[in-house]
Amino acid sequence: MWYAGTVSAVEYRNDGHLAVITLNRPEARNAVNPDVAHGLEAAIDRVEADPDVWLAILTGAPPAFSAGADLKAVAADGGRGIHTERGGFAGFVKRARTKPVIAAVEGPALAGGTEIVLACDLVTAGLSASFGLPEVKRSLAAAAGGLFRLGRKIPVNVAMECALTGDPITAERAHAFGLVNVITDNGGALAAAHALAGRVLANAPIAVRESRAVVADYTFASDAEAWDRSRQAMSKATQAEDHREGLMAFIEKRPPHWTGR
């Protein structure tokens, strides 16, 4: 766990095979400073290194998910401290990883906050959530993945609207476009993320990781590349110990007992 003084800027806790990561600078609307960037990278390192953790939820301490970059930190060193070598902005948006991450969003997720959400695999959101790339309003550009990832998640013309006007979209609109998987009443995003995590954790972990990789990396690839990677995913899934358990559970009409091996 990464500590900023006596208070953790990023909190980490385990809940069975699930890790819950919380951005914890509520007084600054969870804006990303060096403590958050290094703390989030350390949390993802911990998720990836722990064989008993199969999935993570990423959320923010109320009242916001994240307001993006801490402009005081940017002014102090040109923004270098809020990037890490492996993870890029917030230690996360460029981070190579194998395990799914669900974003649970309450309140604004703007600028870099939206870019953190876009780097996640699934999203739950309360009605108070909003998403946007307001950088142009400050003569900036959304350089942490937002300008190319948003149009992969929602219609390109809507992504263009967000990029050029800087205006946010509501949780309801984001849900209608498919950016948000589950929308809830205010305060319900984390519980919805736990429920969604339960649906994922019911499945074989290696098969989940392989499937995630193909969807994330090959949706826009050529068919030839995608077919080849899909075959690799099937091979890895069927070579896992859990493959036999899945077959036996089906034959014996019982829930499977996954080991992640």
Task: Supply the residues annotated as catalytic.
Answer: 115, 135
Instruction: Say if CB 129 and CB 93 are below 8 A apart.
Output: no
Q: What is the DSSP letter of 96?
A: -
Four-point Cα dihedral 229, 232, 233, 235, nearest 10: 160
Angle, alpha carbons 142-146-150 (nearest 5°):
145
Nearest Cα to Cα of residue 175 among 191, 195, 158:
158
Nearest Cα to Cα of residue 147 among 103, 104, 93, 106:
93
Q: Which amino acid is at 115?
A: E
Would you call the peptide bond into 100 cis, given omega within 30 degrees of 0 as the criterion? no
Length of the chain: 261
Q: What is the DSSP letter of 121?
A: S
Nearest Cα to Cα of residue 143 among 167, 112, 173:
112
Would you call the peptide bond into 155 cis, given omega within 30 degrees of 0 as the criterion? no
Q: Which two tokens stand for residue 231?
A: 């075959």
